[in-house]
Every structure is written in C-alpha cells, then in structure tokens.
Chain A
C-alpha cells in the first residue's frame, strides 16, 4: 500500500487539524464576509445545532453510508473472490467488468429514484453500486494473484475446498477489500452529499443545501460541511483501524 495512504500518528493528526483551522481563520479574516465565518463561531454553534436536529441528520447519513459499505463488502468481496478463482467465470466476466467499470454510475440516479422511490433505498443503492466495482476489481485481482506455490503447499498440508478459502484466499483478499473500501470513502461521502441534496428531508446533504444554504444561514452551513468532513474522516479512520488490526502482516517490515 502506498505510504501516503497510511494513517499518520495521533499527534500529527491533531497538528494537521489545527493547521487547517488556522488556514480557515486566515481565509475568514481576508474575505471578511458572512459567507466565510471563522472556525470559532462555527465550532461554538456546533453544540446547539446538534441539539436542534443536526444529530438526527448525522445519524441518517452515517446509516446510509455505513449500510452501503457493509453491503458492498458483503456482496462484492465473495463475488470478486469467485471471479478471481474460477477461470471460466473470469473469462466471461472480465470484458463485462471492463466495459461497465468506467461508466459513471451516478448518472443512474434518476433511474434508481424511479425504481426505488424517495426513501433510503436509492441512496444506499447508488453508493453501493459505486463501491461495488472498486471492491470487486481489487478483490478479484488479489484472489487471482495468490501464488501457486502457496496453494500447493497448503494443499499438501491437507487443506481442500472451503479450507483453502478460509486459510488462503480469504486472508489474501482481506487487505484488498479493506483498502478498496477505505480509498473509496471520499467518493462514497461525495455521492452521499449528492443523493441527499434532493428528494429527501433528512441527511447532511439536505441539512447543508436546504436547511442552511437555502436559508442563507452560513454559520449553520459550515457546521454541516464540518459534520460531513468528520463523517468521512471517521469512516476512513474506522476502516484504517480495521485494516491495521486484521491485516497486521501487511505493515511489518520485509
């Protein structure tokens, strides 16, 4: 995994956060207008906003993105593994994946809205679809690239069928699965913002665009933006933490 994607240490994160706040403050001073309030006022408005309904929006957004991530992992990872292991299946699906991967999935949103209505379904389906391809490809390639020697030697120890899946192919694909999800967090949150911007009355996207921006309440808008950033950061951190715990072997020297 590239070095720049790894989680920096705690102090560095705090320092980087402070640096961003400082940059924001300087920007606010320079612009000197209500459309860019400083971080102080925004942070002060946070607690009261949480009490006035922001918490609910955060929860519904976290729910939508969380379920999408879990679904993408649960569906795309096994499928990717099977596609990587079965030569026939690989041959048939590779062109299909190749053709459909670059299609911007977000353009299907109107279709999803028609099919699934206005509830959580089309939003979850949209984020799921985008994550699905990222996970599918990385897991498929990881499963396919397991060394033949490793499979031979584990088979010689007596492993067969599902034991090979459990002891070889699953752990070999796990870093790919978690990396794919983690690297896609940014996209997932961006899509979340987009799908929450219309046809709904809940979620951070709605909160930012309709409840704040639409009402010219800029401080509130920044509270929403900050919440969305924190949601992304928390998701990223959680996946990174899982990867560090479950795939410790990828981070040792050698």
Chain B
C-alpha cells in the first residue's frame, strides 16, 4: 500500500479481514513475517494510526467529550489545548450539543461520529476502519460514508476499510482487496480509480465495478464449493 491510498478489504466471514486490520494496527503480532508501516517494522500500536471499529469502541462510562478527549489525554497534551481540539472536532462533526451524553444515550450514527472525532483529533496519517458503518441504517450510513470520504480525501490520509458491503467497498476503496478462504483461493485486487468522488454512486462506472466485484466474490465462493466436494 502506498501513502495516501484508500483501500477497501472485502471477503467472507472468517477470511481474516479483521485480523489483517488488527495486524496493521499493531494490536496483534504476526506468527510469521513482519508488518511494515511507513517503512518501519511494526512492534505495537503506532501513534499516527487511527482505528475505528463497528461498535463498542467508546468507553461506556465516559461522555462523548471525554471519549474524544481520551487519546489527547493519553498523549499528555495540556488541558486547554485538549478542550480546544475536542470542541473543534465536535463542532466539525455536528455533535457539539451531545458533549455531555454517554454513549448509551447516543444513536448509532452519533456514536460513530464521536468515534471518528476521537480518532481524527489525534491527527493520524493512517486510518483503519473495521465495518464502521454496517450497524447503521441506510441513510445514516451513506451520510457517514460521505463524511469519511470528505475527511480522508481532504487530509490525504491513507485509509484501510474492512467491510462486507460491496457498495461500500466500491464507494470508498480506490483499490479493493478481495480475500477468499486461504489457502483455497488467493487474494485478488480490483482497481477502482473512480472512488473518492462523492457523486460516484450515481455514475455508471460505480455500478460496473460493483457488478465486477460481486462476480469475483462469487468466483471465490465457487472455487471453495468445488474444492470442498
């Protein structure tokens, strides 16, 4: 993966998508081989890597503002600067009025906005996302996908998105890694240069790539099925 690229990783359950993401985040160690991020071997969580999970990533006992503050606090940033950045990000993501609420008092979409704000407040250069929008209703999902796109492209972030949604992979991933069941089928990469444009969903190219991706995924399934017999 190159700096500034946006990748989507898609594949059936149990193919190792999430494990791959945790390896990239430095939260798990490979049994063999090494992970390199920014030309350095990864030995643990990296400061400039942000991680957003599907759910349960926020501290249930901390308010939205305290959750966003946590990463800044762990980095030893002084109080005034922290308050400024927390406020700035909450305003930016339209959640300033929810500052004092606990995660249990927020909707799924609001929680993910808090998670995004918490991660981006740390100014990462690599953003890892594990099915961040899959628990949301369709409208909220598209809204947050648009937001993620805007933020990632606007900041030149390298993004890796793990998803099981074909549309989401095509909308957000300029390059899409299709994982099958190892060792039965080899991973496959689809080039998708149209992604990164907020109006991409309305273009014929989008639908063509969606169809292609669907066929590839069904292809890996067919291979699994025939080898299984």
A-side residues, CB < 8 A to B, are: 147, 149-150, 152-160, 163, 167-168, 171-172, 174, 247-249, 252-254
Contact = CB atoms under 8 A, between A and B. Distances in A.
B22 A249 contact: no
Contacts of B55: 149
B59 A152 contact: no
Interface stretch (B70-78, B184-192, B196-204, B217-225): B70-78
B47 interface: yes
25 contacts: A149-B55, A149-B57, A150-B56, A150-B58, A150-B59, A152-B27, A152-B51, A152-B57, A153-B52, A153-B57, A154-B59, A154-B70, A155-B45, A157-B71, A157-B122, A158-B47, A158-B122, A159-B70, A159-B74, A160-B44, A167-B59, A167-B74, A249-B60, A252-B102, A253-B105
Nearest to B54: A149
Contacts of B169: none
Contact of A158 (B57, B71, B105): B71
Nearest to B76: A158
Interface in B24-80: 25, 27, 44-45, 47, 49-62, 70-71, 74-75
Given A249-B104, A253-B104, A254-B104, A153 B51 contact: yes
B61 A171 contact: yes
A147 B53 CA distance: 12
Contacts of B71: 157-158
Residue of A147, A156, A172, A247 most packed against chain B (CB within 10 A) = A156
Contacts of B54: 149
A172 B70 CA distance: 16
A160 B51 CA distance: 16
A147 B54 CA distance: 13
